[in-house]
Every structure is written in structure tokens, then in C-alpha cells.
């Protein structure tokens, strides 16, 4: 038996919401269901169950098991006592292993150092077909001969390499110090989880809003898929379209973070525990980082009449992890701000996937970055799954989604000065209507609203999804990778919540498209999005045209989007953030003098 994945089977959404209302401070009896004028207090938590994906090598079967954790053994599962059982049979074909440059062969230049950058000398034209079940090589083909690129003196990135660049020896130490300890971020409630596929998962996100208490925003936030298609039609690059979450697992490929490098300041680390293929437990220490960051100015205004100024610094709570998928590194971050914003950010770095060229050859579909070495053009797509619960109490599902576009008013009596524009809203009532694309020209965004809760102006409370820079696939519709990545065809999808619809390419994307699997199939049911549990699937990405400056290691590229309060609060929730500790500076003293002078004149 090979244990492909063992994860916690998460409790039902309503059960979690009920537990949140009771266990998260501040306790709010008004959020709990009532009977005979008394709230129903949860007396026990639901049974803990595990979900297992198990491959039986002898029977050539993949099975899915749901088991109570009390039936779990230390190094496996007592399947005889599993509470329920569901089997899926997959025929395991011979696996064609398409080497991405140096992933299966390690070639060194003139050095035997383990830190040698082997990606700098890729082998072209070799294809190996392996039967992974029997561990036998079925085919070996050497389709073409391309000489190895010559040794490149800029190839390595470890300390001590001589590159003839700028002298950095005068770089001074930067220390982030919190002498009073961490700030108690009382405004945010959330839980932190971690899975083999998704990596970091944020549960039960809520904002504690003064006397209004704990107000839910989202039930579950995570990155559920990541696709990297390449734009070179030549061998072997046209085959490159990795599904890094569904095929490899973002969590499984995460690594330990180092204080002072990956995160600065006062940090809380979390370990991750996984079941390996034999059923044993493996631990990645310090895999999730929780810390606070200074983020510049939060808000400021200076009265030009008096010269008096008020300014507040922004501080955000950041939860993050970093994974290495072969040659690339990806950092995933969730930032929680004092003004109620939530930012999802991805940082891309690592080494380019490269190909060798014949001497003097140029490649149309890539960038030559060193002699006889080039990097193909490609795209990186990420899918964020956001199970929303804006202002929803337990057992409530009163959310809807609207699209907002800015329109230019037509010439006429309503626009006599030709300057008028306005925001137009459209309610997305069903799943097929909610397949949408970004449109920066109309400042397009989407708002999840609670139809039963209003702000002080009588408008529904809501949170809006504000896109950042993004893209759509540049491949033709007939491209083979789009058969299993149909979810890349739109930036936004909205579905009615269903607990087994977790991954946009299906649970086994290497078997996709399968019947009734995947986001593009689920929305064909065209379920209603009116006053229901809404799940937003936001697809965003970057088109990477490699630069010479991306070699030997690509500097971090950042892409992100925002969840922002839209009528959720009655005014700015950041207005009560106190001034910083430097209030007794000369500037503050001079402002006091100005105030005193004005008072004396009055």
C-alpha cells in the first residue's frame, strides 16, 4: 500500500461556524441558535476523521478512504474498521518522463561542488519512458544532438562567486526590533491550517468590530492550483504544463524558513506534519511564518490652514510559506491590514527552466541568457479559492455577488460638460453568468454582499475582490493542456458551495478531464448564486518573458489581489489606530507650539 495523501476531513461549514461563534472571543450568544430563549451551546466538537488516498500496487487500484482517527494506526490505517469506503479504479499507464533540462540528469561543469548550478548545462533531445509500477525503462530515445552550452562564469549564485559586479561589502545590518513584544491584533480572528496539496490554509476569517462583535468574512482561504504552461512549440518545451498543486503538492514541497532571511522581527513558526508513502510521519519544521510587518503610511492628513498633521503607520499581520517546485520557488502570503483589507500575494523566484541551443542559434520563443543557453517564454497561473461568509451567522447563507464596471455617461442632458462617469452594478445570479474576466479599462471588480445586513446608510454590507495585474492563457483554444486546465479561460468563477468541489482541475488532474470533475464542468449545472454559500475562484497570473537579469537566480516578482471592505464598516476602521511611539519628536513639539499659539489668538 502506498499512502499518497492523508489529510484531516474538515467538519461541515455550519459546524465550524457554530464553534467559531462560541470559542472565538468575544463570545456572542446572539450568534448561536436559540431554543426557548436560550442559546444552544455546543457541548462537544465533531469527531475527527481522516481522508486517505491509497494506491494498492498489487491490485493496481487507487482508493479513497474516510476513517475515524481512532481507527488510525501509527504507520498505516486499519481499513477493516474504516467508517466508510469509496473506491475509484485508475488504469496506470506507462509514464513518459519528460525531463525538464536537469531534473533527471546532473551534469557539472569544471566543478564537483554540490552547489554547482547544473541547470546551466541542459541535455537536449533525450526522452525516457518508464513503467513506474515495475521500475523498468521501456524506451530510451536520443532524438537529436545539441552540444552542451559552454561553462558560464555567471552561472552560480552561492556566496564567494566572482562576477566583477558592484562591491557590496558596505551593506550594513538591518535589525527589525519589537522590544515590547508583538502587537495584540485584536481586530482579526483566524485559524491556520496546512495541507499537502494547498500548503497554507486560512480558516474562519473574521473582524472584531467594536460593539458589533465578531463579524465573519470568509470560511476558508487557500491556493488550490498552479499551472505553468510554456510557449515554445519545440521539443521538449511544448510538453511543459505543470500542475504544481494537483500533481506535486504545494505543501509537500514546502521547506523550513530561516529567521532573518525569510521573515524578520518577532516570529511565530508552525511545523507541518505529513504522512509519507509508507504511512509514517514526516515533519517540516518552521514551515509557516506568522509575524507583523511595518507597511508604510496607513493614513495621513495635514491641515494646510494650520499646518497641523495627523499620520498613522500601517502594520499588517502576515502568514506565509515558501515551496520549491523543481527549479522555481514560490512564496505564498496572506496579509491582514488594520483597515480591514486582506491581500493575497505570490512571490516568484528561483532558476529558469532552460534549453540548449546550437552554436549561433537564436530561438523565437525565448530569450538567450548565456552562450548557447536560452529560457522559453511561459506563464504562471495561480488559483485562489475563497469560501466566503460575509456577515453570515451559523446556518446562514445570505450572500450574493455583483459585478461593478465604471461607465462613461453618454453625451446629452445628463453630461453637458462631457465629464460624467459612474459605477454600474450587475447581479451575477447564476454560475454561468459569473464566468468573468478582468477589465482594467472599466475598473472592474466584484463584491460579495450580505443581503440581510446593512450599514448606517441602509446599503448591504460587503467585501470586494479587487484584481491586481493578471493575464489569460496565450495558447490557442485547442492547446492540449487546456483540456485539463479549462479553468484558466476566465479570471473569475463563482460556484455555490459543495464540499467535494475543492480543486479546479479535479482531484487527480493527471487523469483529467474525467466525468463530472473540474470547475469548468461544475458550473454547467448553472446553480443559483442568490442568497447562498458562495465560493470565489480567482485565476491570476503573470506572463514571463525572461530577461538576462533573471539569471542565474530570478529576483522576486510579485503579483497579488485584494479583498477590501465595501460598505462593511460605517467608517474607516483604521481611524482609531493610535499615533506611533515617536509622538515626542521635535515635529510633534512644534505642532503643539502652533496649537498653543492658535488658542492664544482665539
* Residue among 238, 328, 333, 337 flagged as catalytic: 328
Q: How far is CA 562 from CA 202, 346, 517, 587, in A?
A: 15, 12, 29, 34
Q: Within its chain, how far is the Cα of 144 from the centroid?
A: 39
Q: Sign (positive/negative) of CA torsion 243, 246, 247, 251?
A: positive
203: Cβ contacts below 8 Å, ≥ 6 apart? 16, 190, 191, 192, 193, 219, 220, 221
Cα distance between residue 83 and residue 7, in whole Å: 16
Residue 2 neighbours by CB distance under 10 Å: 13
User: Which residue among 20, 152, 244, 550 is the active-site one?
Assistant: 244
For 241, the grid coordinates are: 504544463
Among residues 95, 4, 51, the alpha carbon closest in space to that of 510 is found at 95
Query: Is 328 one of the annotated active-site residues of the chain?
Result: yes
Rg (CA), the chain: 27
Phi, psi of 595 (to 5 degrees): -60, -45
For residues 566 and 462, the answer to whether their CB atoms sit within 8 Å is yes
Cell numbers representing residue 311 in the block: 499620520
Helix (H, G, I), strand (E, B) or coil at 522: helix
Burial 388-424 (b: 16+ CB within 10 A, else e): bbbbbbbebbbbbbbbbeeeeeeeeeeeeeeeeeeee
Measuring CA to CA, which residue among 76, 123, 93, 328 is closest to residue 227?
328
Using CB atoms within 10 Å of the CB of residue 112, give its burial: 0 to 12 exposed, 13 to 18 middle, 19+ buried.
Answer: exposed
Question: If residue 126 lies in a helix (H) or strand (E), which one and from where to where?
Answer: strand 126-131
Residue that is written with C-alpha cell 511564518 in the block: 289
Element (H, E) at 145: none
Q: What is the DSSP string of 63-110?
A: EEEEEEGGGEETTEE-GGG-SEEEEE----PPEEE---TTSS----SS
- Mind giving me the DSSP string for 182-222? ----TTEEEEEEEETTTEEEEEEEEEE-GGG-EEEEEEEEE
Residues catalogued as catalytic: 244, 328
Amino acid at each position: 500500500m502506498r499512502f499518497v495523501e492523508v489529510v484531516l476531513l474538515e467538519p461541515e461549514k455550519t459546524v465550524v461556524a457554530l464553534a467559531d461563534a462560541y470559542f472565538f472571543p468575544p463570545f456572542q450568544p446572539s450568534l448561536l441558535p436559540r431554543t426557548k430563549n436560550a442559546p444552544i451551546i455546543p457541548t462537544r466538537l465533531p469527531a475527527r476523521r481522516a481522508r486517505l488516498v491509497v494506491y494498492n500496487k498489487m491490485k493496481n487500484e487507487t482508493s479513497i478512504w474516510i476513517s475515524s482517527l481512532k481507527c488510525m494506526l501509527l504507520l498505516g490505517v486499519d481499513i477493516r474498521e474504516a467508517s466508510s469506503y469509496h473506491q475509484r479504479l485508475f488504469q496506470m499507464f506507462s509514464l513518459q518522463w519528460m525531463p525538464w533540462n536537469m531534473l533527471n540528469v546532473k551534469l557539472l561543469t569544471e566543478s564537483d561542488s554540490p552547489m554547482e548550478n547544473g541547470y546551466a548545462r541542459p541535455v537536449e533531445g533525450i526522452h525516457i519512458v518508464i513503467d513506474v509500477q515495475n521500475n523498468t525503462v521501456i524506451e530510451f530515445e536520443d532524438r537529436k544532438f545539441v552540444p552542451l552550452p559552454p561553462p558560464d562564469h555567471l552561472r552560480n549564485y552561492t556566496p564567494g562567486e566572482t562576477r566583477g559586479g558592484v562591491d557590496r561589502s558596505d551593506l550594513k545590518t538591518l535589525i527589525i526590533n519589537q522590544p515590547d513584544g508583538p502587537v495584540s491584533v485584536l481586530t482579526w480572528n483566524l485559524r491556520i491550517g496546512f495541507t499537502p496539496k494547498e500548503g497554507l490554509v486560512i480558516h474562519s476569517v473574521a473582524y472584531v468590530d467594536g460593539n458589533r462583535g465578531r463579524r465573519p468574512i470568509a470560511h476558508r482561504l487557500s491556493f488550490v492550483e498552479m499551472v505553468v504552461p510554456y510557449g515554445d512549440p519545440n521539443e521538449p518545451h511544448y510538453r511543459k504544463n505543470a500542475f504544481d498543486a494537483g500533481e506535486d503538492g504545494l505543501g509537500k514541497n514546502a521547506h523550513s524558513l530561516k529567521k532573518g532571511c525569510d521573515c524578520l522581527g518577532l516570529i511565530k513558526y508552525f511545523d507541518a506534519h505529513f504522512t509519507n508513502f509508507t504511512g509514517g510521519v514526516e515533519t517540516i519544521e518552521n514551515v509557516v511564518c506568522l509575524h507583523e510587518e511595518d507597511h508604510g503610511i496607513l493614513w495621513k492628513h495635514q491641515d494646510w490652514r494650520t499646518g497641523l498633521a495627523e499620520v498613522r503607520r500601517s502594520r499588517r499581520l502576515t502568514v506565509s510559506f515558501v515551496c520549491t517546485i523543481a527549479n522555481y520557488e514560490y512564496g505564498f502570503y496572506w496579509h491582514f491590514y488594520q483597515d480591514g483589507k486582506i491581500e493575497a500575494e505570490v512571490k516568484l523566484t528561483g532558476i529558469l527552466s532552460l534549453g540548449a541551443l546550437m552554436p549561433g542559434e537564436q530561438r523565437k520563443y525565448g530569450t538567450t541568457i548565456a552562450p548557447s543557453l536560452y529560457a522559453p517564454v511561459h506563464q504562471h497561473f495561480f488559483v485562489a479559492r475563497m469560501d466566503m461568509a460575509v456577515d453570515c451567522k451559523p446556518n446562514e447563507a445570505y450572500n450574493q455577488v455583483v459585478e461593478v464596471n465604471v461607465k462613461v455617461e453618454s453625451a446629452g442632458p445628463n453630461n453637458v460638460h462631457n465629464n460624467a462617469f459612474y459605477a454600474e452594478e450587475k447581479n451575477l445570479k447564476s454560475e454561468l453568468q459569473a464566468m468573468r474576466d478582468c477589465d482594467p479599462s472599466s475598473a472592474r471588480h466584484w463584491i460579495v454582499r450580505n443581503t440581510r445586513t446593512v450599514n448606517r446608510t441602509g446599503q448591504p454590507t460587503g467585501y470586494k475582490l479587487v484584481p491586481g495585474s493578471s493575464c489569460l492563457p496565450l495558447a490557442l483554444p485547442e492547446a492540449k493542456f487546456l483540456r485539463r486546465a479549462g479553468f484558466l479561460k476566465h479570471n473569475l468563477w463563482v460556484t455555490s458551495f459543495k464540499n467535494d468541489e475543492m480543486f479546479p482541475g479535479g482531484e487527480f488532474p493527471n487523469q483529467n478531464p474525467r466525468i463530472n470533475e473540474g470547475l469548468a464542468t461544475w458550473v454547467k449545472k448553472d446553480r443559483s448564486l442568490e442568497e447562498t454559500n458562495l465560493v470565489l475562484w480567482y485565476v491570476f497570473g503573470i506572463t514571463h518573458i525572461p530577461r538576462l537579469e533573471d539569471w542565474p537566480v530570478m529576483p522576486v516578482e510579485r503579483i497579488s489581489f485584494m479583498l477590501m471592505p465595501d460598505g462593511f464598516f460605517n467608517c474607516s476602521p483604521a481611524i482609531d489606530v493610535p499615533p506611533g511611539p515617536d509622538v515626542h519628536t521635535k515635529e510633534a513639539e512644534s505642532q503643539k507650539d502652533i496649537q498653543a499659539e492658535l488658542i492664544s489668538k482665539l
